[in-house]
Amino acid sequence: MSVLNQASPSTVLSDAAATLRPSACPGLLRIVAARDGGICRIKLPGGELRAAQARAIAQASARYAAGVIELTNRANVQVRGVKRGEEAALIAALVAAGLGPIPATGAESAADRTVAENAADTGAANAASAEAGNAVDVARTLTAASNAADDVRNVMISPAAGRDPFALFDTQPLCAELLTMLQSDTRFAALSPKFALLLDGGERLASVDHPHDVWLAASQEADGVRFVFGLAGCPPEREMGNADSPSQSQHGGPFAPAEKARAGSTGALAAILPSQVPALARALLLTFLDLAAADATRMRHLLAAHCVDTLLHHAQRYLDFPLTQNAKLTNWHRGTSADASLRLGAHAQRVPETWHVGGQPPLGRLKADTLHGLAALSQQHGNGTLRLTPWQSVLLPDIATHTVPTVLSGLNELGLACEPAQAITRLIACAGSTGCAKGLADTKADALRLAVRLPAGVEVHLSGCSRSCAAAHCAPYTLLAAAAGLYDLYRRDGQPGFGQCVARQLTIGEAADMLERLARSNTDA
């Protein structure tokens, strides 16, 4: 069974490509085996998915996999249960729908663009019916040219970028520029598939508890908007005890900011013009590649070996503007507090009489039919796109005021939760023992059982093993599987890991009782 948890590149991958990118991380062009079949991860630019592309994913998932689509905590999508022997056909259908990376050279023929656009606009019907032999040839060619480019498509922005009334800057164009740079420069092929950048425009709907190797955040200064940046962490918010800062529940529970900076991270280092963001990002990535040891895959590893001044001094050689650490930014924090609950329900956008409407599928999983339904809603009442969020939910942007009730009703009919009070929005769970060889318990089924008894305002992460794949942050409470149906309960205490262990070997019923007592004691305090 251990083989199932290793990277298992699809048979369509060339030997050269497989050798170039050894990794256990799934990708669009690298199917990784799991207990329930292959996993294909589709990285979405800025978390955006066109309705036609959503249909293509749904069709391909139903035909070549188990019909199960997962939303990830980096606002991406992954297809689970890919059938053995169908990897090439799945890849070809998704690439034809315009979901693949641009070629590593940055060049793409007009014919290729036309094929991709036409396939996406028609739901990739032609790709779905392609002969298996042709699919193998297409996938092999695309993999050899684009596997590395696919891995480095890791730039996160707010799902409400360009629409959030509180935003200081629309990060969408910068995101597109960074993604093109990452895919077009072959030097970045050496970056780990986990190496990631965050662009924070100052939105209220923002994930600011998700560590990134490089983060850049908009800041309102006297002479205009600047971007401050830091390494191996997140844009800092006001301290949790600050009277001006919302309570934990206002932040959407387990998605609340960390109480203190993570070890190995930096605060804000310097401020630059928005136009200088791409050049700075390039310089920092090249600095990492120049200085990092062979076994260093993340920026925190580089910071453990070199001081910040050394990194900035090295980055300066790639820049035509001065880059020096600014001591005045030591206590910098975001001017607007993030509120993850805004991912649910209807909220006004910057443009009057327009709204984004969001819902959360149970534990981040969709059936193919549900994704078809979401695509139809976005075309009938929105702008024909879906925005995926880092909280494993979906936003439909640009909804007119008079159609908001219809869209909310449609999301509910599709099985999505649209209210923060709904227990399922306060639970996250990994694939568990049904999908992962390392999982010790069926976390998905157990989370659904816990949802029935989850106390109000309590947020819990169920993890099948200590790797904590489903959560990029430390949740207020974690149930760590010890055996089938049994969990150790941890409470966040500001320390690394899951926090303090408060009880062991609990059944789901016993865990619900314990969480009720803990919640009551917190209220009484």
Residue 82, strand partner residues: 38
**pLDDT score for 390:** 96
Could you tell me the pLDDT band of residue 521, with boundaries at 50, 70 and 90? confident
Residues 78 and 193 in one domain: no
The per-residue pLDDT for 4 is 32
Contact criterion met (CB below 8 Å) for 425 and 417? yes
- C-alpha span between 188 and 289 (Å, rounded): 8
Is the domain of 244 the same as that of 354?
no
**DSSP secondary-structure letter at 103?**
P
213 and 145 in a common domain: no
Show which of 400, 420, 440 is a domain's final residue: 420
User: What mean pLDDT is predicted for residues 86-92?
Assistant: 95
269 and 212 fall within a common domain: yes
Of the residues 420, 439, 455, the one at which a domain ends:
420
> Residue 232 — very low, low, confident or very high, per pLDDT cuts 50/70/90?
very high
Percent of the chain whose pLDDT exceeds 90: 76
In this prediction, residue 108 carries a pLDDT of 41
Q: Is the domain of 433 the same as that of 367?
A: no
Domain containing residue 232: CATH number: 3.30.413.10
Q: How far apart (Å, rounded) are the C-alpha atoms in residues 462 and 321?
A: 47
Q: Determine what percent of the chain is predicted with pLDDT higher than 70.
A: 82
Tokens of 510: 């016993």
Query: What's the confidence (pLDDT) of residue 319?
Result: 98
Report pLDDT digits (tens) over 337-378: 999 999 999 999 999 999 999 999 999 999 999 999 999 999
Q: How does residue 384 score in pLDDT terms, banded at 50, 70 and 90? A: very high
In a domain, 158, yes or no: no
Answer yes or no: is 160 within a domain. no
Could you tell me the CA-to-CA distances from 413 to 361, 364, 373, 407 in Å, in that order?
11, 16, 10, 10
The SS3 call for residue 483 is: strand
Confidence at residue 132, expressed as pLDDT on a 0 to 100 scale: 42
- How many degrees, rounded to 5, is the angle at CA 49 between CA 44 and CA 50? 140
H-run or E-run covering 92: helix 87-96
The last residue of a domain, from among 329, 349, 368: 329
Report the number of distinct structural domains present in the chain: 4
Query: Identity (one letter) of the amino acid at 133?
Result: G
| Residue 263, pLDDT score | 59
Rounded to whole angstroms, the Cα distance separating 147 from 31 reads: 11
User: Cβ(305)–Cβ(314) under 8 Å?
Assistant: no
Does any domain span residue 334?
Answer: no
The verdict on residue 113 lying in a domain is yes
Q: Taking residues 398-412, report their average pLDDT.
A: 98
Tens of pLDDT along 16-59?
333 334 567 899 999 999 999 999 999 999 999 999 999 999 99
My answer on whether 224 and 369 are in the same domain is no
Q: In the prediction, which pLDDT does 257 show?
A: 41
Domain for residue 131, yes or no? yes
Q: How confident is the model at residue 240 (pLDDT cuts 50, 70, 90)?
A: low
Q: Kindly report the CATH number assigned to the domain that includes residue 354.
A: 3.90.480.10
| 470 band by pLDDT with thresholds 50, 70 and 90 | confident
CA distance 256 to 252: 6
* 206 vs 248, higher pLDDT: 206
Return the pLDDT at 262.
Answer: 57
- Cα–Cα distance, 102 to 93 (Å, whole number): 16
Q: Are 45 and 132 contained in the same domain?
A: yes
pLDDT for 365 equals: 97
213/239: higher pLDDT:
213
At residue 152, the pLDDT reads 93
Q: In the sheet where 394-400 sits, what is the strand order? A: 48-50, 385-388, 394-400, 354-359, 345-348
More confident call, 255 vs 369: 369
CA dihedral sign of residues 404, 410, 416, 422: positive
**pTM for this one?**
0.86
Task: Please state the φ and ψ torsions of residue 221, each to the nearest 5 degrees.
Answer: -110, 170
Kindly tell me if the per-residue pLDDT of 286 is higher than 90: yes
Question: 229 in a domain, yes or no?
Answer: yes
179 shares a domain with 322: yes
Do 416 and 430 fall into the same domain? no
Dihedral sign from CA coordinates of 132, 113, 370, 462: positive
- Please give the residue range of the domain that contains residue 28: 2-151
Alpha-carbon distance of 41 to 110, in angstroms, equals 26
Q: Is there a contact between 380 and 409 (Cβ–Cβ < 8 Å)?
A: no
**Closest to 76 (Cα-Cα) out of 15, 21, 154, 20:** 154
In this structure, is residue 288 part of a structural domain?
Answer: yes
Contact 358, 374 (CB under 8 A): no
Residue 297 has pLDDT above 70, yes or no: yes
Least reliable range by pLDDT among 311-325, 451-465, 491-505: 491-505
315 shares its domain with 348: no
Domain shared by 44 and 74, yes or no? yes
pLDDT tens-place string over residues 203-219: 999 999 889 999 999 99
Instruction: Show the tokens assigned to 323.
Output: 């880059």
The answer as to whether 502 is a domain residue is yes
The dihedral region occupied by 177, where left means phi > 0, alpha psi between -120 and 50, and beta the remainder, is alpha
Read off the pLDDT band of 137 (50, 70, 90). low
Q: Is the pLDDT of residue 185 over 70?
A: yes
Q: Are residues 432 and 479 in the same domain?
A: yes
pLDDT range class, residue 103, cuts 50, 70, 90:
low
- Chain centroid to CA 187: how far? 24
Residue 238 has a pLDDT of: 82
- Res 469 pLDDT > 70: yes
Residue range 268-278, pLDDT digits in tens: 999 999 999 99
Average pLDDT, the chain: 86
